[in-house]
Amino acid sequence: MIRVGVVGATGYAGAELVRILAGHETAELSVLTSRRFAGAEFDKVYPCMSGVVNMVCDELNLSDLCKRTDFVFIALPHKIPMAIVPELIEKGKKVVDLSADFRFSDPTAYEAAYQPHTAKDLLKRAVYGLCEVYSEQIKRADITGNPGCYPTSILLPLIPLVKSSLLDCNTIIADSKSGVSGAGRSLSLTTHFCEVSESFKAYKVASHRHNPEINEVLTMQAQKNVKITFVPHLVPMSRGMLSTIYAKINKNVTSKDIRTCLASFYDDQPFVRICEQGIIPDTSHVRGTNFCDIGFEIDELNNRLILISAIDNLVKGAAGQAVQNMNIMVGLEQTTGLMGPGFPV
């Protein structure tokens, strides 16, 4: 058994990690930390886990954490992880960080979007944990930066196509829609029930921090400069993320070319489901699962591809992909603990 710690276990991503790891046959939850609920039983904070998870939340203590774990997930707001991870790595732990701190390979890009980076050396060593694309590097990594939810939903459908030069990379637009759990458990008027219910809106229009993350990865994959237009929206539901992505297709590219490109790229990937023609992804099809569903149509009048992807923002967009990263990093089947079926309703 791998002894696993979850740092920041009482936020939504942290609690989702606990849920998944509680059913993982090879991982054993050994430490849960929480600043706010230190000393409390975890199932008092999340009564849904009562009778299943029987642990007390600890204050974060690095040396104690190192003693009691082999593998550490960090589910804290950005800026804090870069102060913690170096010591964990030095002590020989393997780490998946769910914040943005280890997602960028270019510290300048990180610093432009976030704040000064205090562990730049580790950035070179850290691997971007988009499992279907970087599994070879992840296998050898001891620190993985788990991708953002929006980047996951946008990069998975786009990467095969930009690598194959089927698209005009100057025309990419991603219109994304997220459930409210993406905003976390912290209180704000934006997530107050009466303000969300019967409301749909855009936010951080063309100014969201996931935009440079997406641009960096696409630029590397396309081997040319890519800057997409990205607009996130808030949907009155708890879980789920759908991205509708638009791009001009290059001359003579057909629907069949698109399908072949996606299908062959994801042929062996258990968590990417390419929808049959005419089937359009729906967040309810992936809720509670680690799947990413990808469908597409071509607007023939405009020679424009419309790619649609659906994920559960807390699973493939956060905790599920984090566990998938762990599985790869420690040499397990990547599906371990992650193949539970979705809910019919």
Query: Which residue lies nearer to its own copies by CB, 126 or 235?
Result: 235
For its own copies, give the closer residue by CB, 139 or 201: 201
Which span (12-20, 64-72, 119-127, 151-159) binds its own copies, by CB under 8 A? Answer: 12-20
Per DSSP, the residues of 214-269 read: HHHHHHHHHTS----EEEEEE-SSSS-EEEEEEEEBPTT--HHHHHHHHHHHTTT-
Mask for 169-198, x = binds its own copies (CB under 8 A):
-xx-x-x-x-xxx---x-xxx-xxxxxxxx
Interface residue with its own copies among 1, 83, 112, 202 (CB under 8 A) is 202
Enter the DSSP assignment of 319: I
Helix axes 320-329, 131-140, angle to 10 degrees: 40
Could you tell me the sign of the dihedral formed by the alpha carbons of 186, 187, 191, 193, in that order? positive
Q: Does 107 bind its own copies (CB under 8 A)?
A: no
Nearest to its own copies of 101, 213 (CB atom): 213
CA–CA distance, 104 with 129 (Å, rounded to integer): 11
Q: How many residues bind its own copies (CB under 8 A)?
A: 89
- Distance, in Å, from the CA atom of 331 to the CA atom of 258, rounded to the nearest integer, reads 32
Nearer to its own copies, 141 or 167 (CB): 167
Query: Cβ 203 to its own copies, closest distance in Å?
Result: 7
d(CA 314, CA 335): 17
Smallest gap, in angstroms, from Cβ of residue 253 to its own copies?
Answer: 16
Cβ contacts of 47 within 8 Å, gap of 6 or more: none
Position 36 contacts its own copies (CB under 8 A):
no
The answer to whether 66 is a known catalytic residue is no
Nearer to its own copies, 84 or 318 (CB): 318
State the minimum distance, in angstroms, from the CB of residue 58 to its own copies: 19
In terms of C-beta density within 10 A (0-12 exposed, 13-18 middle, 19 or more buried), how is residue 292 classed?
A: buried
Q: At which residue do the structure tokens 């804090």 appear?
A: 80
Residue choice 2, 62, 231, 261 for contact with its own copies (CB under 8 A): 231
Q: Is 23 a binder of its own copies (CB under 8 A)?
A: yes
Catalytic option among 57, 66, 149, 169: 149
Residue (82 or 311) nearer to its own copies, CB: 311
Report the candidate in 84, 89, 85, 126 with the shortest Cα–Cα distance to residue 104: 126
Say if residues 226 and 155 touch (Cβ distance below 8 Å).
no
In the stretch 242-281, what mask flags binding to its own copies with x, by CB under 8 A? x-x-x-----------------------x--x-----xxx
d(CA 135, CA 142): 13
Which has the closest alpha carbon to 154: 238, 242, 78? 242
Q: Report the candidate in 313, 170, 316 with the shortest Cα–Cα distance to residue 246.
A: 170
Residue 24 beta carbon to its own copies: minimum distance, rounded to whole angstroms: 11
CB 313 to its own copies: min, Å: 11
Distance, CA of 267 to CA of 5 (rounded, Å):
33
User: Should residue 203 be labelled a site residue for its own copies when binding is judged by CB under 8 A?
Assistant: yes
Contact status: 240 vs its own copies (CB under 8 A):
yes
Q: Shortest approach of its own copies to residue 76 CB, angstroms?
A: 17
Q: Does 56 bind its own copies (CB under 8 A)?
A: no
Footprint of its own copies on 279-338 (CB under 8 A): 279-289, 291, 293, 297-299, 301-302, 304, 306, 308, 310, 314
Active centre residues (catalytic): 149
